[in-house]
Chains A and B, each alone.
Chain A
Amino acid sequence: MTWRLLIFLTVAFLFTATLLPVLSMVFHTFFSHGNFDFSAYKVLFQDSSLTSFQNSLLLSLLVAAASTFAGTVLGIVLGKTKLPGSYVLVMLLTLPLLIPPYILALGWYEVLGREGFWGELLFGFWGTSWVLFCTYLPIPMLLSMLFLTQINPRFEEAARLMTGWPQVLRYITLPLLFPAVILSFLLVFILTFGEQSVANFLRFDVFSLESFTYFSAFYDFKTATVLAVPMVIVALLVLAAEQFGRHKHLWRFDTAYSIEKINLENTRIPLLIMILLLISLTVLLPLAHLFAEATDIHLWAEALTKAYQPILRSYLYATLGATALMVFGFFSGYLLTERMFAHRFYDAVLIFMFSLPATVTGIALILFWNTPYTNFIYGTPLIILFAYLGKYLALTAKITQNRLGQIPHSQVEAAQLAGANPFQVLRFILAPLSKKALLIAWVIGFIFSLRETTMTMLLYPPGYDTLPIYILTQMANGEPGMIAALSVIMILMSLLPLLVLGYFTKDPHD
């Protein structure tokens, strides 16, 4: 079997499993009673659609701008200075990204309530912006830390001969971090634009809820799909900006350099206090409230007794989801690196699937896969794996693409000349050299699979729910202490992959 055939089979499988159902659903929006009909698209120009679109744009711009600014500053402080306990601080700041966003919103609701000045501020634009800011702050922080490893220390050393660190940071480091800033902004923008659980919980009218409303109030699959189209267009425009803008290869990294760390001296304590204050505000305050609600040991025992099966299933689905995402991400990354087939189209497809509202993906998968002949897929959690693959493959493919791009072609060619078949090249060259990237892809796949709720809610086989779903179903009139205990269990579960990553990648540059 040749590489081309292997990659072709991978792409064919992915297209059939995930893209074809969605395309079939979008295709049907252009027809009514067998005739070509564009009238379903009129809904896009209704006042409510336009208003919520405007709300979403404003929300996404604010969250993307604020989190990119704060996250970049944090990334520099934590990645570039000798701040004590920076690893723990990074772990704490990353926590909101690991848990379903509605849990953070729930935490803030527990803190501020629904009434009074703060309660009213929470429920609406500002509250939604704040919760999403806290959720996505880790993205620019982690990306800045990663991009710091891409800066050749010689530039900074040369500048240091002339001036002090403040000027070096301003004129050398920051401009070289610009790709991280752009990439963070784009990623947070797309994620905020597609997020609906926080806006739904905090009663703010966003565009992603429009599509959701047509599913939930009208059971109108066609209009709901039509309302998803602008979200995809926005995401594709963002992708186009990346492709044709100044920084064509935002996802590409070279070999990591070791970072020259700044001695903070007198500013060490004030900076530490400021970061601890930020952590208290963005992470500890909402989550500690949940912990405080769940102090009763009997509640914990009851929560574990009731939810041990959903907990085990969550881990099983997330483990298999992460493994599938890592494997298919590897082959997709290879396709993109080697520019095989229609790689630009394939790249766009990955972003298309990533930006599509989860409800649309879920319904499309039901309509396509629920047949008597494919019950072994639809009637089992395999359908959830398909959903994870469709939604999150863009992330693992990009991570692998970056690493594979750094492996010299000569190594693969030499192995092939020596008679190695594709599997041997994979086994002895590509896999060992991209081991860490694969591990990171696995952990990211695990995190996103573990916290996924919308598609899982639509697709899980009867009686086989996951913990995030179980928490959501308990939220309807369930005991608040029990919900808090379950949420804390979810948080602790989400920490595990970070610990795994920390254990296997002891080198801070990874």
Chain B
Amino acid sequence: MVTEKKYLFLLLLGVLLLVSCSTEHASRNSVTVYVSEDQVFSEPILKDFERATGIHVNAVYDTEESKGTGVMNRLLAEKNNPQADVYWANEPIRAEVLKHKGILTPYESRNAQGIPALFKEKAHYWTGFSARIRLFIVNNKTKVKPTSILDYANPKFKGKGVIANPLFGTTTSHIAALFTLWGDPKAKHFMQALKANRIAVSTSNGESADLVAGGQYDFSLVDSDDAMSRLKQHAPVSFVYPDQQAGGIGAFVVPNTVMLIKGAPHPKAAKRLIDYLLSKQSEHKLAFADCAQIPLHRGVAIPKDLKPIGQIKVMQVDYGKVAQKLIAIQPWLKQWLSGS
């Protein structure tokens, strides 16, 4: 009988431990943040925030496997009873989706002042910081390098390029931006021409970068952090900022975004975290991390391989319209993909 009581006691202790996991995070001086930026890059920043403010951070990170499913689906499913205070997304499109679904509330951070208006939502639902650039990673053996995204449809590059699955991640945002900029007929024609030019489709930007680094393909449109990491691994590659010529559409910029959740359980701590992420200090750290993200504030030091944002011709798009377009073209893209 004594043994059974012992087991029962242990079981109760376990259940109490489980329950204590939540009451602890709800009652303490804490903030809950959902993060789509890779944990290896975002966690050190959040730890620094904890040290600087004494506010405990409870984080939910996204995984490579889930392609954003975990955090985004959580935010959507939790709409009626939010658990998160802040969402740190690694691009602005998800922020726009969340805004339209009524999951965000505006917050104008004092640290957002130095950030160009292009990278901020007008009503302050989200604010961009530390950006990635969509650029070409090119294998060094390639004699003629692509300079424009239109080169994907150029017969000169037939069968030589690869692009990540346009249904996911930053590639889908980039394609939606082209639809927004060019209009549907021209963009669809480009996509069909790209397919006719035998451009391969990989499952991710990381895979595209590997395929180019390995020499299977000459070039690919990837995120700047993918290109930078291959350079750091001493892969035989270089990169090209696309469409920088006079009259060119410019490179598509993908800033991180941070936003306040409507009905956030800890709004004060949430605002402090947002202020911290939008600071020059955080941008500096992300620029010198392996992800090598480009600061959006002026005057923040960057590694020598990077160009400051002011020296890059940037694609002028309204991210809100890009998000709407993205949702509208998803069925078409799925059809385009299945027919490839």
Within 207-246 of A, Cβ neighbours of B (below 8 Å) are at 212-213, 215-219, 221
Distance from B306 Cβ to chain A, minimum over Cβ atoms (Å): 17
Q: List 24 A-B contacts (CB under 8 A).
A: A46-B338, A51-B338, A115-B214, A203-B203, A215-B73, A316-B14, A320-B15, A359-B69, A366-B77, A372-B81, A375-B81, A380-B18, A380-B23, A381-B18, A458-B69, A461-B25, A461-B58, A462-B84, A463-B58, A463-B59, A472-B66, A475-B64, A477-B229, A478-B39
- The docked-state distance in angstroms from the alpha carbon of A29 to that of B179 is 31
- Identify which of A115, A216, A379, A472 contacts B26 (C-beta below 8 A): A379
Most buried by B among A375, A461, A465: A461
Contact A102/B65 with A218-B330, A457-B70 known, Cβ cut-off 8 Å:
yes
A200 interface residue per 8 A CB criterion? yes
Asked if B210 and A114 sit within 8 Å, CB to CB, the answer is yes
Within 455-469 of A, Cβ neighbours of B (below 8 Å) are at 457-458, 460-465, 469
Distance from A312 Cβ to chain B, minimum over Cβ atoms (Å): 10
- Identify which of B4, B22, B77 contacts A370 (C-beta below 8 A): B77
Contact flags A372-385 to B (C-beta < 8 A → 1, else 0): 10011011111001
Within 22-80 of B, Cβ neighbours of A (below 8 Å) are at 22-23, 25-26, 32-34, 38-41, 57-70, 72-74, 76-78, 80
- The docked-state distance in angstroms from the alpha carbon of A114 to that of B15 is 45
Distance from B223 Cβ to chain A, minimum over Cβ atoms (Å): 11
Asked if B77 and A382 sit within 8 Å, CB to CB, the answer is no
A81 interface residue per 8 A CB criterion? no
- The docked-state distance in angstroms from the alpha carbon of A219 to that of B96 is 13
Q: Which chain A residues lie closer than 8 Å to B64 at the CB level?
A: 472-473, 475-476
- The docked-state distance in angstroms from the alpha carbon of A93 to that of B84 is 43
Q: Which chain B residues lie closer than 8 Å to A366 at the CB level?
A: 73-74, 77-78
Q: Which chain B residues lie closer than 8 Å to A219 at the CB level?
A: 72-73, 76, 97
State the A residues within 8 Å of B (CB). 46-48, 51, 102, 114-115, 197, 200-201, 203, 212-213, 215-219, 221, 316-317, 319-320, 323, 359, 363, 366-367, 370-372, 375-376, 378-382, 385, 427, 453, 457-458, 460-465, 469, 472-479
Known pairs A47-B338, A203-B203, A370-B83 / 18 extra A-B pairs, C-beta < 8 Å: A114-B207, A216-B69, A217-B168, A219-B73, A219-B76, A316-B14, A320-B18, A366-B74, A366-B77, A375-B26, A380-B21, A381-B18, A385-B18, A457-B66, A462-B34, A465-B61, A476-B40, A477-B225
Asked if A363 and B77 sit within 8 Å, CB to CB, the answer is yes
- The docked-state distance in angstroms from the alpha carbon of A48 to that of B167 is 14
A-B contact count (CB 8 A): 157
Q: Which chain B residues lie closer than 8 Å to A463 at the CB level?
A: 25, 32, 57-60
Asked if A316 and B17 sit within 8 Å, CB to CB, the answer is yes
Which residue of chain A is the closest to B25 with respect to CB atoms?
A463
Asked if B19 and A376 sit within 8 Å, CB to CB, the answer is yes
Q: Which chain B residues lie closer than 8 Å to A465 at the CB level?
A: 60-61
- The docked-state distance in angstroms from the alpha carbon of A197 to that of B214 is 25
Q: Which chain B residues lie closer than 8 Å to A212 at the CB level?
A: 69
State the B residues within 8 Å of A (CB). 4, 11, 14-15, 17-19, 21-23, 25-26, 32-34, 38-41, 57-70, 72-74, 76-78, 80-81, 83-84, 97, 167-168, 172, 203, 207, 210-211, 214, 216, 225, 229, 290-291, 330, 334, 338
- Identify which of A218, A370, A473 contacts B78 (C-beta below 8 A): A370
Asked if A115 and B216 sit within 8 Å, CB to CB, the answer is yes
- The docked-state distance in angstroms from the alpha carbon of A371 to that of B22 is 14
Distance from A480 Cβ to chain B, minimum over Cβ atoms (Å): 11
- The docked-state distance in angstroms from the alpha carbon of A259 to that of B216 is 56
- The docked-state distance in angstroms from the alpha carbon of A473 to that of B34 is 13
Distance from B237 Cβ to chain A, minimum over Cβ atoms (Å): 15
Asked if A477 and B291 sit within 8 Å, CB to CB, the answer is yes
- Identify which of A114, A359, A370, A469 contacts B214 (C-beta below 8 A): A114
- The docked-state distance in angstroms from the alpha carbon of A316 to that of B15 is 10
Q: Which 6 A-B pairs have the closest CB atoms?
A: A463-B58, A462-B58, A472-B63, A379-B22, A380-B22, A476-B64
Distance from A384 Cβ to chain B, minimum over Cβ atoms (Å): 8
- The docked-state distance in angstroms from the alpha carbon of A473 to that of B36 is 10
Q: Which chain B residues lie closer than 8 Å to A217 at the CB level?
A: 67, 167-168, 172, 330
Which residue of chain B is the closest to A374 with respect to CB atoms?
B81
Contact A370/B80 with A359-B69, A379-B26, A457-B70 known, Cβ cut-off 8 Å:
yes
Contact A477/B38 with A379-B22, A381-B21 known, Cβ cut-off 8 Å:
yes
Contact A320/B60 with A376-B22, A477-B291 known, Cβ cut-off 8 Å:
no
Which residue of chain B is the closest to A463 with respect to CB atoms?
B58
- Identify which of A203, A221, A460, A477 contacts B41 (C-beta below 8 A): A477
- Identify which of B65, B74, B97, B210 contacts A458 (C-beta below 8 A): B74
Asked if B18 and A382 sit within 8 Å, CB to CB, the answer is yes
Q: Which chain A residues lie closer than 8 Å to B22 at the CB level?
A: 375-376, 379-381, 461
Q: Which chain A residues lie closer than 8 Å to B32 at the CB level?
A: 462-463
Asked if A197 and B83 sit within 8 Å, CB to CB, the answer is no
- The docked-state distance in angstroms from the alpha carbon of A359 to that of B38 is 21
- The docked-state distance in angstroms from the alpha carbon of A359 to that of B73 is 10
Which residue of chain B is the closest to A327 with respect to CB atoms?
B11
Which residue of chain A is the closest to B11 with respect to CB atoms?
A323
Contact A363/B63 with A316-B17, A316-B18, A320-B18 known, Cβ cut-off 8 Å:
no
Asked if B38 and A476 sit within 8 Å, CB to CB, the answer is yes
Q: Which chain A residues lie closer than 8 Å to B33 at the CB level?
A: 462
